[in-house]
Amino acid sequence: MHIDASLMSSSLGIALTQAEFGMHTYASEDASLPAIDHAPIRVGIAGATGYAGLELVRLLARHPAVRLTLATSSGNADPRRVPSLAKIWDEPIVPLDTRALVEACHVVCMALPEKASASLGTELVASGRRVIDLSGAFRVREAAARSTWYPDTVSVPDGTVYALPERCRAALAHATLASCPGCYPTAALLALLPLADAGLIDGDVIIDAKSGVSGAGKVPSERTHFSENHGSAAAYGVFGHRHTAEMEQELGRNVTFVPHLVPLNRGILETIYARLAPGATADAVGQALESAYADAPFVRLRGDALPEIKHVAYTNFCDIGWRIDGSTRRLVIVSCLDNLLKGAASQAVQNLNLMYGLDERTGLWA
């Protein structure tokens, strides 16, 4: 993609001059990764004060091929510095300003509510900026389904990719808008898509999911109040959770999805129930998954050693384990990830890397 070197923000005092677009080599933080010969990518974050937004700041401020030029709140709050970001990102988080984002950035990561993302994302793409969206605003392709689950998204910009990076590396290179999957769908689709593609699953699937409280976002509610959540677990969104739409869209089959809120800060564990197609074998299941993820640095296949949330917390890994009852063709898969990282911020960075031709691990080994 052509980078306009003449952009200037007088209000921010940021000038993107031709000299700044000279080629630079960045040393990777991991010796096994190649050095990066790439112009610095000017990145902005819209919605930097939420849980996923703060994770984005931490990752992008230290990314060797990125210059984090602007971080905004999700509204008009006064500029402020965030204590937990001290010596990581010492600039203030400023009010949301579309013009400032356009003038200061090549690509904008949006960690906003769906309504705000639907508006801002469309404006940014129309202004020639690339977008990585963590909300659900652009995930559902079919207009009727989108009007049910995301009514503020009137249309999806041309060049939008449903950005599950393990499935769309080539498409991301040309994407104008990368619509990151939800945290629950990421765990489910990574586990199920290789099996569905290989014709190994017969009929509908059931997904029983448990999520830490940070998955509900930063705005407090009775459900996320400590006194309500501590020492308890609760199902919610039965037959009414919007993540069902994107799971069914990508899998092409009905999904019974029941999420649960559990008293953890972060992490998702999904237990997925399906029936194998007649003739499908345990070996075929393992081979389909191994073939799909042989070159996927952030998917770890555990076989019959079922994963746990503590194995993936604070990482960009998705761990997948499975067991099969051959006599009844029953398949149980357990898929785990960190909802704020692989389910949100670090998956967005993985997508950014692929959009700009970088090794997808860049900035994510820690």
CATH code of 251's domain: 3.30.360.10
The pLDDT score that the predictor gives to residue 11 is 32
The pLDDT score that the predictor gives to residue 232 is 79
Judge whether 117 and 45 are in contact, CB under 8 Å.
no
The pLDDT score that the predictor gives to residue 16 is 40
- 118 shares its domain with 236: no
Query: Is 363 domain-assigned?
Result: no
Judge whether 226 and 275 are in contact, CB under 8 Å.
no
By CB neighbour count within 10 A (0-12 exposed, 13-18 middle, 19+ buried), where does 245 fall?
Answer: buried
Query: Is 362 domain-assigned?
Result: no
Alpha helix locations (H) across the chain? 51-60, 98-104, 114-126, 143-149, 169-172, 183-197, 226-229, 243-251, 282-292, 345-355
- 37 shares its domain with 176: yes
Query: Is 3 domain-assigned?
Result: no
The pLDDT score that the predictor gives to residue 119 is 96
Residue 175: count of CB within 10 angstroms of its CB: 21
Query: Is 119 domain-assigned?
Result: yes
Q: Which residue has the tokens 């040393």?
A: 27
- 166 shares its domain with 197: no
Mean pLDDT for back-to-back runs of 10 residues, the chain (366 residues) = 34 35 35 54 96 96 96 89 93 95 96 96 97 97 94 95 97 97 98 98 97 73 71 88 95 96 93 97 97 98 97 97 96 98 98 96 84
211 strand-pairing partners: 261, 268
The pLDDT score that the predictor gives to residue 134 is 97
Looking at the structure of the chain, the number of domains it has is 2
Give the distance, in angstroms, between the CA of residue 141 and the centroid of all CA atoms in the same chain: 17
Query: Is 48 domain-assigned?
Result: yes
Query: Is 366 domain-assigned?
Result: no
Query: Is 364 domain-assigned?
Result: no
Catalytic residues, by residue number, are 183
The pLDDT score that the predictor gives to residue 123 is 97
The pLDDT score that the predictor gives to residue 294 is 97
Tokens of 151: 């009514």
- 310 shares its domain with 233: yes
The pLDDT score that the predictor gives to residue 23 is 31
Q: Burial code of 145-172, b = ≥16 C-beta within 10 A, e = fewer? A: bbeebbeebeebeeebbbbbbbbbbebb
The pLDDT score that the predictor gives to residue 265 is 86
Boundaries of domain holding 159: 8-180+344-355
Q: Which residue has the tokens 């690339």?
A: 130
Give me the CATH number covering residue 97: 3.40.50.720
